[in-house]
Structure 1
Amino acid sequence: MNASAENGAMPRYCTQPPQTQPVLRPDLNPNRSRAILLVRAKWINGTVLHYAFLDQGGDIGGSEQLDEVRHAFQAWKALGLGLEFQEVADPGDSEIRIVFQENEGSASYVGRDNLGISTTQPTMTFGWDLTTPYGKATALHETGHAIGFAHEHQNPFAGIVWNEERVYADLGAPPNNWPHEVTFNNILRKLSQNEVTGSTWDPDSIMEYSFGPGLIVRPEQYRGGIPASLSLSATDKERVLQWYPPLHAQPPRLQAFQSTPLQLATGQQADFEIVPTETRSYQIGTFGNSDVVLALFEDTDSGLQYVAADDDSGQDRNGRLEAKLVKDHRYVARARLYSAWGSGSIAVMYW
């Protein structure tokens, strides 16, 4: 996203940190690799994302800046997402940590990449006033990164041909002052087709930059630029609900030692309730030829609390969790599928 500049000056842009690339075996089946690249940044649906403010508006402003971030999270949640967003006071309890620093610009890590950042460090920064129309859109844009979405103008299906010399020159000048590698990573680099949902480009997306004239050569209709997107587009809403659909109020219950089939397509998720009949150490696992993210949560008075997770993607094994479960306590196991191969028959069980 960008900050609108007055008098036609160059806007300031979001500088997304480079996304983590999984290290996959070179002999891995290409279908498995594509599925892992597509799903890797997305959270397990139903995750409670905790966010904390590391300052109270920094050098941008006061509490009204924090309110705009809160409103942005609420705008995504209001679509009916299975994700939850909870503000916490202690940064050590958060996955997302937010600062306001004008000299740092605006940026956010993408999806699960937030988990690789020290709890003493910010994962999202804002570098301009969020109370303007552009600022409110910036808050939506950066929180969109946090839940797993990349820049839309880097969509390989956009078919954008850039005037690269002009792009480097304009972004290298004030107010952005970007070196070549930042401009390449945030504008010119195209995502792999394996990393994007769907097969079309959405120029109205909140994840799309606005651009002035002269930067785009093709498609011809955008030679005059792309206007700023100030709200979630219809496609934004459709795509985010594909990844984070509303949760079932009561997931089916797993019975100990009983295998339950998983009928899932790439990116889909199944949730199960576990209520053990005795207190002891249990294992929870998947079976079959599959790449799966498996996570376990305990239902407490303060909501679902994370217990353990395993990601077996790209490995020739199945996901396994081991945890002490307490008699008559309620737990929720969640399995999101990257891909299945071979017979395609997969299942989950606890014992």
Structure 2
Amino acid sequence: MSLITPPLAPPPAYEPLPNNHTSPPESAGRTKRGIADSDKRWPAGVVTVALDLSSEKSKALVVDAIREWAHHTPALRFNIVEGKTGDIRISDDEGLKGNWSAIGTEAKRIDEDQPTMHLNRTDDSKKLRSTALHEFGHALGLLHEHQHPQNSLDWDSPQVYDYYTSDSFNEAMVREHILEPDNRPDLQITPYDPQSVMHYEIPAALRRNGQAIPKNTTLSAGDKQTIRMLYPPVNPT
């Protein structure tokens, strides 16, 4: 994982990958992760999170995911409310598609009547909670682990292109969002973490060594370390 220190051009909210595969990633970002973008971290204090979700079950699962992050962000307190008014606005509106989130404070640049995070509706509680955990990581400023500059994935590129390319996700996008590591010189690197909740699930066929990376559904030790580095105690003792 790593921290990005310089200002970047603002990325829009994350776009979904095509879902015509049996086990695709939940979303494809326009920025990269291994990594947290410290330029987009929330200032210390209270962050209001508004939930505009369709069921009490969904609300409970999303709140549980937020609380898991909250244990490791001592600089932040989350004020969770129902409705559409907040710093982070989470929706499962069926008129929107995909699981995605703005990156950190890029949420401030989204119209106040629009969500800053979207979660597809599902009856699969485990899937919804793990997706919420991943997307809320983005909402805090975390990026995607599979594009860590020191990743050891050793992609089988032809297989990757075949797996991900579709009418809505072309080869250039596959290169940008899947294959290319983030090699910007201004990264502060912490170790690559294949157990990160911010890592995509990787089918075995997409790696030359034939080893799959499963979907991670809880915060890893590396996730906890990185988010605490991003949001350390205001007055550590």
TM-score where L is the length of structure 2: 0.78
Q: Which residue of 2 aligns with 1:132?
A: 125
Residues 1:203 and 2:194 are matched in the alignment: yes
The CA distance in 2 between the partners of 1:64 and 1:99, in whole Å, is 14
The alpha-carbon distance between structure 1 residues 101 and 194, as it changes in their structure 2 partners (threshold 3 A), is farther
SS at match of 1:40: helix
Residues 1:191 and 2:182 are matched in the alignment: yes
Q: Which residue of 2 aligns with 1:32?
A: none
Deviation at 1:185, TM superposition (A): 3.7
Letter in 1 for 2:225: E
The CA distance in 2 between the partners of 1:101 and 1:168, in whole Å, is 31
Pair member with larger Rg = 1
The CA distance in 2 between the partners of 1:181 and 1:120, in whole Å, is 32
Residues 1:146 and 2:144 are matched in the alignment: no
2:216 is aligned, of 209, 229, 232, to 229
- On the 8 A contact 1:151/1:186 being kept in 2, the answer is no
Deviation at 1:82, TM superposition (A): 1.4
Q: Which residue of 1 aligns with 2:7?
A: none
The CA distance in 2 between the partners of 1:188 and 1:82, in whole Å, is 34
Q: Where in structure 1 are there 5+ consecutive unaligned residues? A: 21-36, 251-351
Give the RMSD, CA atoms, in angstroms: 3.0
Residues 1:50 and 2:48 are matched in the alignment: yes
The CA distance in 1 between the partners of 2:58 and 2:83, in whole Å, is 19
SS at match of 1:64: helix
Q: Which residue of 1 aligns with 2:30?
A: 18
SS at match of 1:142: helix
The alpha-carbon distance between structure 1 residues 82 and 199, as it changes in their structure 2 partners (threshold 3 A), is closer
* Aligned-residue identity in percent: 26
The CA distance in 2 between the partners of 1:194 and 1:14, in whole Å, is 28
Misfit runs of 4+, over 4 Å: 193-197
- On the 8 A contact 2:37/2:141 being kept in 1, the answer is no
1:66 is aligned, of 59, 63, 70, to 59
The alpha-carbon distance between structure 1 residues 228 and 90, as it changes in their structure 2 partners (threshold 3 A), is closer
Aligned residues: 215
Letter in 2 for 1:178: F
SS at match of 2:215: coil
1:106 is aligned, of 91, 99, 123, to 99
Deviation at 1:10, TM superposition (A): 1.8
The CA distance in 1 between the partners of 2:121 and 2:205, in whole Å, is 25
2:149 is aligned, of 148, 156, 171, to 156
Deviation at 1:195, TM superposition (A): 6.1
Letter in 2 for 1:100: D
The alpha-carbon distance between structure 1 residues 247 and 124, as it changes in their structure 2 partners (threshold 3 A), is same
- On the 8 A contact 2:38/2:141 being kept in 1, the answer is no
Flag the structure with higher strand content.
1
SS at match of 2:205: coil
After superposition, give the CA deviation of every residue in 1:286-309 in whole Å (9 maximum; x if it has no partner): xxxxxxxxxxxxxxxxxxxxxxxx
Letter in 2 for 1:50: T
- Using CA pairs below 8 Å that are at least 6 residues apart, which structure has the higher relative contact order? 2
- On the 8 A contact 1:152/1:207 being kept in 2, the answer is yes
